[in-house]
Amino acid sequence: MRVYDTFTRSLVELPPPPAEVGMYVCGPTVYQRAHIGNARPFVVFSWLRNWLRERGYTVTFVHNITDVNDKIYEAAPGRSAELAREATAWYLEDVGDLGLGLPDEMPLATETIPEIIALIEELVATGHAYAIDGDVYFRVASYPEYGRLSGQRPDQVVEQEPNPLKEDPRDFALWKATKEGEDTWWESPWGRGRPGWHIECSAMAEKTLGPEFCIHGGGNDLLFPHHENEIAQSRAAGRPFAHIWMHNGMLELGGAEMHKSIGNDVSLRNVLDTWGREATLLFFLSGHWHGPIDFSDEVMAQAVARAERFREAFRNPSRPAPAGAWERFVAALEDDFNTPAALAVLHEWHDHELLLRALRVFGLESLGHEEQAPGEVVELAERRQAARAARDFEEADRLRAEIESAGWEVRDEPGGYRLVRRQ
């Protein structure tokens, strides 16, 4: 299998199965409800985990949660830890409802403080970092390859964390001294404080996967400065770190990238409640993982229709797939995990067993197991049929509305009707 690697800017081959694949994917900073764009890396790399296991790999999927950060302090002065716990629970609930299962490990930054401090001490001892008034900064000039991942020249790098005492404007914080109003802190060799954002992930990745692993993933928005800083501090400390860097494209809404900070985001919870789990997954499936993808009501309606096409395929008799059908599906995913091409192949199939095997990779096997309506909904549908037969269309419409309020849709067909769960 080959995937696009940001570091080399080329397609690279994964080692053949049954190799072990460690995969670390940057997760959310938890201070409010996740938006639909936050879910894309979770979905893409959950699918990649499933596919690699289907192909015979042993996979360890790690997805961290950043639960100490400037944004959390700003969002909840005096109760940052409480907000972080609440928002972590929201995130786990929302991504859990996608039906893809959870990653193998989901480390918290606040549970990795000893490892973070130890890594910073090592960087200071080897001259790659220095302390100033309780803060510790990474010495960017000590790592000659800085900028290679994001493609920036040294003179292009803007100052990330202004401080006139820094040796170099490019230097970034590994440890931050506690400021007034910050209610969460830890003791360290440099005084009370808390870790910088970037060192958290280097430490969590090493703690869960070791100093060397196969894939580091996350959104394009993390390429600089987050991932650039991660690779610098980890490799400066002598860790090979990740071999392959995969960056998924961003969601767009109204022609602009979706971001909480500019308020053009739609919560994952809202999308799931409005359109349903299956349509949400099919929406993501329709876009190539490292390209942008547009979100709109029209696009989601298309995903609902696509889900119905799959359900219809399972309602019809199963027919053997043409020769080489599975191989075409495999070829699409083995070539840079091209899910739109794989989706096009699936729509040509009418072999129920093969369809279920493929849809299982994407958490969509439920499309082949249509849910049965509860007895009280069936009773409403039968009463509606009787009202229609008696030409009492007002009562029939009232009963249809009652069925819909219960979360179901009644569809009239020759000789009867069918009840379908509303999306």
**Residue entry with tokens 């119905």:** 308
pLDDT band with cut points at 50, 70 and 90 for residue 359: very high
Q: What SS3 state is found at 273?
A: helix
Q: Which of 251, 338, 198, 242 is nearest to 42 (CA)?
A: 251
What pLDDT digit, counting tens, does each position of 183-241 carry?
999 999 999 999 999 999 999 999 999 999 999 999 999 999 999 999 999 999 999 99
The superfamily CATH assigns to domain 2-248 is HUPs (3.40.50.620)
Q: How far apart are CA 142 and CA 154, in angstroms?
A: 12
Strand order in the sheet with 172-177: 129-132, 135-138, 172-177, 193-195
pLDDT at 271: 94
pTM of the model: 0.87
pLDDT tens per residue across span 254-290: 766 766 555 567 999 999 999 999 999 999 999 999 9
Mean pLDDT of the residues in the chain = 93
Structure tokens at 318: 């199963």
Instruction: Output the pLDDT for position 413.
Output: 63
**Rounded to the nearest 10 degrees, what angle do helices 228-236 and 113-125 cross at?**
60
pLDDT of residue 259: 60
Q: Is beta strand 293-294 parallel, antiparallel or unpaired with respect to 172-177?
A: unpaired
- What phi and psi, each to the nearest 5 degrees, are found at residue 215? -125, 135
pLDDT of residue 261: 55
69 Cβ neighbours under 8 A, 6+ residues apart: 29, 31, 109, 197
Instruction: State the average pLDDT over residues 19-33.
Output: 96
Contact of 344 with 287, CB cutoff 8 Å: no
Q: What is the pLDDT of residues 391-402, one digit of tens each?
A: 998 999 999 999
- Integer Cα distance of 68 and 66 in angstroms: 6
Is-same-fold flag (2-248; 253-368)? no
What pLDDT does residue 422 have?
73
Q: How far is CA 78 from CA 74, 75, 184, 186, in A?
A: 9, 10, 9, 16
- Residue 189, phi-psi category: left (phi > 0), alpha (psi -120 to 50), beta (remainder): alpha
Q: Are 76 and 119 in contact (CB under 8 A)?
A: no
CATH: 3.30.70.250, 1.10.730.10, 3.90.550.10, 3.30.428.10. Which one for 253-368? 1.10.730.10
Radius of gyration of the chain (CA): 25
* Residue 46: band (very low, low, confident or very high) from pLDDT cuts 50, 70, 90: very high
Give the residue extent of every domain in the chain.
2-248, 253-368, 375-421
DSSP structure class, residue 226: I
Amino acid 309: pLDDT = 94
- pLDDT, tens digit, 9 for 90 and up, residues 136-161: 999 999 999 999 999 987 777 777 88
Range in 36-40, 247-251, 319-323 the model is least confident about: 319-323
Phi, psi of 313 (to 5 degrees): -60, -35
Strand arrangement, sheet containing 20-25: 58-63, 20-25, 212-219, 241-248
Contact assessment for residue 339 and residue 285, using Cβ atoms and an 8 Å cutoff: yes
Strand partners, 172: 138
Is the separation of the CB atoms in 67 and 108 below 8 Å? yes
pLDDT at 268: 96
Q: Which residue has the higher pLDDT, 376 or 260?
A: 376
Question: Which helix (H) or strand (E) element contains residue 293?
Answer: strand 293-294
Q: Which residue has the higher pLDDT, 356 or 418?
A: 356
Helix (H) or strand (E) holding 199: helix 197-209
pLDDT exceeds 60 at position 21: yes
The alpha carbon of residue 227 and the mean position of all alpha carbons in its chain are separated, in whole angstroms, by 16
Query: Residue 146: its pLDDT value, please?
Result: 94
Q: pLDDT per residue over 85-130, tens digit each?
A: 999 999 999 999 999 999 999 999 999 999 999 999 999 999 999 9
Greater pLDDT, 246 or 158: 246
pLDDT tens-digit profile of 310-354? 999 998 889 999 899 999 999 999 999 999 999 999 999 999 999
Above 80 in pLDDT, residue 364?
yes
**DSSP-assigned letter for residue 139:** -
DSSP per-residue string spanning 83-117: HHHHHHHHHHHHHHTTTS---SB--BGGG-HHHHH
Asked if pLDDT for residue 162 goes beyond 90, the answer is no
CB atoms within 10 A of CB 167: 12
pLDDT above 60 for 45:
yes
* The residue type at 103: P
Contact 362, 281 (CB under 8 A): yes
The gap from C-alpha 423 to its chain's centroid, in whole angstroms, comes to 22
Find the helix or strand (DSSP H, E) in which 123 lies: helix 113-125
